[in-house]
Structure 1
């Protein structure tokens, strides 16, 4: 065995002695050395007679060194030195192994340091799972249709699609858990996006749990119903034997109930007045809107004297269907006899009803702007009209290959002059019409039909009902009906149908079906809004029930309620109250003068509700009348007993 001594050559890293002669050699720190064989070991034994400790080196069972005797104090110092050396050696190995671990976005871990005293041990752990798929391409469609222009035959557009299924699970110490999910392919909205942060307290802490994000409030008794599909914060506190659970949240769902008895299902509904059927129902002209209230005032008799004989409805061709497709140029002021948005067009006093001759627009198009029928030149040809304030998207629309709707894709009220689309329009879609009607035995036409002799690919001049930029200042804003409400059902029966209109009265703290002041005091709101003028025989005697007049106040096939006035909670209510100062408390004029985005923020005005119920025969299955039903949110009772799902 060899070791460095003072008499030998000095080394930068001294080699420790395998057979130490004194405690100093045994305690000498090892800077660099080879590992001793496994059968070489140093033992320290206690000598009972002397009270000292004996240090010896063995190879196997053979002692190879002279025993070294050390005192109890020297042993304690030696043991402390060796323990510290082993501790820092292990810690260095742990730190070194952590540095060798590769950084991974799917499994990240961080130390909390001093924050462990707050959140507990474990550090920060973040684990990500899922897949992200993004596809991007360019599509080119060539349709060899001689009826189309050269430009319309060749269409090139970008195709972008993404598919994301991502799950993130995180922990902060042993008290906080974070769960996030995002799935673009989810079947239901509540599965698409979810986030939840949860803090779990210890047994002796006041805060037992604190949750934020997607939370729920289950209640174990039948007197109070809990809440699901909640987004907000929830906490559970404990004060001795008192447990407190509190939730502050927004409910992203609507609660409905249905009852069955004797083979009949009763469905209850409640609708806020700001939930009108948007972008689906449109007047064909400002004339029809202006006279709607008057014509509906004598239900079930309609006093319009109008019968619409023929109509063509054109929409944006987003599906690229080229059958029954035509280029169109649609004008908001076309055929308007009175409410003309642009002063450039002059009304003809001899034409009081909507027609192509009601103002100068159509005649001027034929005389000065006929070249606009070439759809590719339309923008340039119509550009001089910009000097008169004509703007594309509001005053007129130029639409290539517009799609002609089939009669089965919409319904038409022939005497009141409005259409109801089966599918609501997107905000950027265009709606235009051409129609012919009879009034007092005379035939009038608005716009041009595809059969009028204007050959394709020349564009048709038609009436614009909705442009790509529909806002309150748009000339066509009032053409969109805001007095139609959908109950979300089909084949709504007239028998046993009940409808109520209520108002949230903050003074009494509840909803009432009447107002407590003004000249309308104590009149039921159904009667105030002309929905209770008739009895069950359609005679002019109010009976306190909703006047179910098919096609006028109700559409059974689509489950819709239609008010007999265009602005029931706006200008009409103000007129009925006859007191502007008092009307300011109740009238919700913003419902008709603002977009729904703005309207939904006016909670102090949004106090009217539509509620009621209807009955229908059922088979073995019970319709909930809803989509995106949250798991665990359906409760079924029979004879007062709560049933268990899947049992």
Structure 2
């Protein structure tokens, strides 16, 4: 008696001469799907095709048919299969695919694989059956080897503050936190002449670290010796003119007899710097614009102060102005979720402005300016945005409601745009006096900490000229 354990089935087989008796005991029924038809099924047994069986295709030129038969030695087994040329090509292609994946699966199952390189690329080689393709690239094979990884982090952030001084709709907020990192590289070869290499990483520090290059190298007898596309370089051996690195574009090498020509058409993504060393220190000259040196910190309170700045400081240290700013409030986006000195604020871009060349709302509303002119002092009363005239002019009472602020522009509510003509700051924070410096004569402020690119700043200020008081905006 022989006891065989297979797929959790216990089979008891008794062999008595020619007669076969079997008894099956099932602990649990398991269905196995064989996607590669390279086995012979005998009842509950699944056996590999014996090597004694030999199958082959034979071409009959008279009938233009392919005959598929199986033999054991010289004895034919079964009925031969007759195929047309089209059926033959289809069958051979399907068998090649099955055999290929069967081989790859066997390699993955085998823990003692000697040649590890066979496991690296599970994709089959690609071929192009074209004489023109072979003459152009020196071969008919296409090989692409991609490598890399993609990771994604998805989360949510929920914040709640039980502060009765904050509106209920602002006491809680939720936001999505999504981050993805991609690191991919690919090396490829088309024929024997064209090679492809690329590298892309979202966490790369510099743009030039993301590379893309196509290299085409014909035969040595061709006029075109080499063609490069993507990240190229042009090193020069001479010391008079230095070559350029980190180029992105087109490069070719030509050969006419004994004359070699190298041409490059590209964008330079690098720059050269010269450092002079003297003693134990180094000196380097550079130039930088004031806006790039200290951005998002210094702000003029109005266009008037910007236009008069050069004239005012022309006689420095004497400032040619009678303006004296006596009161100011500065409001910014509340990133730290502070609960002290906070309130909702609406900032109007053209509030207190009188220069038609530096404003936009006058294009939407007739007689927008009440006191036009570049020399007019900034004040609420110079145009139709005067807060004291809400309900009697351009603005209506909806301007004081955060949810209806756009409707507050009355007849031009469909023409104004948030972020351009006005901005809404919910739960804005008022800056303390030690968080900024005010130049009360030149009309600008300097923040202790620069604003981020997505933050908003709004001001209301009051000043006097020759005893007369002017005001722009409303104070809390």
TM-score range with shorter-chain normalisation? 0.5 to 0.7
Return the alpha-carbon distance in structure 1 between the equivalents of residues 220 and 391 of structure 2.
Answer: 85
Following TM superposition, by how much is the alpha carbon of 1:110 offset from its aligned partner in structure 2, in angstroms? Answer: 1.1
Q: Distance in 1 between matches of 2:193 and 2:284?
A: 45
Q: Per-residue CA shift, 1:72-122, capped at 9, x if unaligned?
A: xxxxxxxxxxxxxxxxxxxx9999545533499974631032212221236
Tell me the equivalent position of 1:109.
Answer: 125
Shift of the 301–122 alpha-carbon distance from structure 1 to 2, 3 Å rule, reads: farther
SS in 2 for 1:116: helix
Q: Give the 3-state SS of the residue equivalent to 1:394 in structure 2.
A: coil
Q: Distance in 2 between matches of 1:321 and 1:175?
A: 64
CA contact (8 A) 1:334 1:362 kept: no
Contact 1:256 1:269 survives alignment (8 Å): no
Alpha-carbon deviation of 1:226?
A: 2.0
Q: Indicate the residue corresponding to 2:387 in structure 1.
A: 362
Give unpaired runs (5+ residues) of structure 2.
Answer: 1-52, 55-66, 75-90, 105-119
Query: Which of the numbers 374, 378, 400 marks the counterpart of 2:405?
Result: 378
Question: Which residue does 1:168 correspond to in 2?
Answer: 186
State the SS of the aligned residue for 1:363.
Answer: helix
Task: Establish whether residue 291 from structure 1 lines up as the match of residue 308 from structure 2.
Answer: yes
* C-alpha deviation, 1:307, in angstroms: 4.5
2:352 paired with 1:314: no
What is the TM-score with the length of structure 2 in the denominator?
0.63
In structure 2, the partner of 1:619 is none
SS in 1 for 2:166: coil
- RMSD of the alignment, in Å? 4.2
Alpha-carbon distance change, 154 to 271 in structure 1, aligned in 2, over 3 angstroms: closer
TM-superposed CA distance for 1:348, in Å, is: 5.7
Q: What is the deviation of 1:241?
A: 3.4
State the secondary structure of the residue aligned to 1:32: strand
Q: Distance in 1 between matches of 2:251 and 2:335?
A: 45
Quick one: distance in 2 between partners of 1:159 and 1:357? Answer: 45
1:197 is aligned to 214
- Say whether 1:432 aligns with 2:470: no
**C-alpha contact 2:295 2:450 (8 A) present in aligned 1:** no
Query: What is the deviation of 1:153?
Result: 0.9
Q: What is the distance in 2 between the residues matched to 1:398 and 1:180?
A: 45
Match of 1:397 among 408, 423, 433: 423
Distance change (3 Å), C-alpha of 1:270 and 1:392 = closer
> What does 1:166-565 align with in structure 2 at a 5 Å threshold?
166-191=184-209, 193-269=210-286, 282-299=299-316, 301-308=318-325, 311-317=328-334, 325-337=342-354, 339=356, 341-342=361-362, 343=366, 345=368, 347=370, 352-359=376-383, 361-365=386-390, 369=396, 372-380=399-407, 382-386=408-412, 390-404=416-430, 413-419=439-445, 423=450, 426=453, 429-440=455-466, 444-449=470-475, 454=476
- Cα deviation code 1:613-638 (max 9, x no counterpart): xxxxxxxxxxxxxxxxxxxxxxxxxx
**Corresponding residue of 2:59:** none
Partner of 2:26: none
Superimposed CA distance per residue, residues 312-332 of structure 1 (whole angstroms, 9 cap, x where no aligned partner): 443445665666543111112
User: Which residue of structure 2 aligns with residue 614 of structure 1?
Assistant: none
How far apart, CA to CA, are the structure 2 residues paired with 1:108 and 1:307? 80
Q: CA 1:196 to 1:387, structure 2 compared with 1: closer, same or farther past 3 Å?
A: closer
Cα distance, 1:353–1:303 mapped onto 2, change above 3 Å: same
* Structure 1 residue 213, shift from structure 2 partner: 1.0
Match of 1:34 among 56, 64, 72: 72
Q: CA, structure 1 residues 121+417, in 2 after alignment: closer, same or farther (shift >3 Å)? A: same
Give the whole-Å Cα distance in 1 for the aligned partners of 2:122 and 2:289: 45
Shifted more, 230-239 versus 166-175: the winner is: 230-239
- Kept in 2, the 8 Å contact 1:312–1:404? The answer is yes
- Report the TM-score when normalising by structure 1: 0.48
- Structure 1 or 2: larger strand share? 2
C-alpha distance in 1 between matches for 2:330 and 2:205? 33
Instruction: Kindly indicate whether the alpha-carbon contact (under 8 Å) linking 1:328 and 1:398 is maintained by their aligned counterparts in 2.
Output: yes
Deviations 1:588-607 (A, max 9, x none): xxxxxxxxxxxxxxxxxxxx
The 1-side partners of 2:398 and 2:441 are apart by: 36
User: 1:444, CA displacement in angstroms?
Assistant: 4.2
Q: 5+ residue gaps in structure 1?
A: 1-14, 17-28, 37-91, 455-647
Cα distance in 2 between the residues matched to 1:94 and 1:323: 76
Contact 1:336 1:359 in 2 (8 A): yes
Note closer, same or farther for the CA distance 1:377–1:275 as it changes in structure 2 (3 Å cut).
closer
Q: Contact between 1:313 and 1:433, CA under 8 Å: does it hold in 2?
A: yes
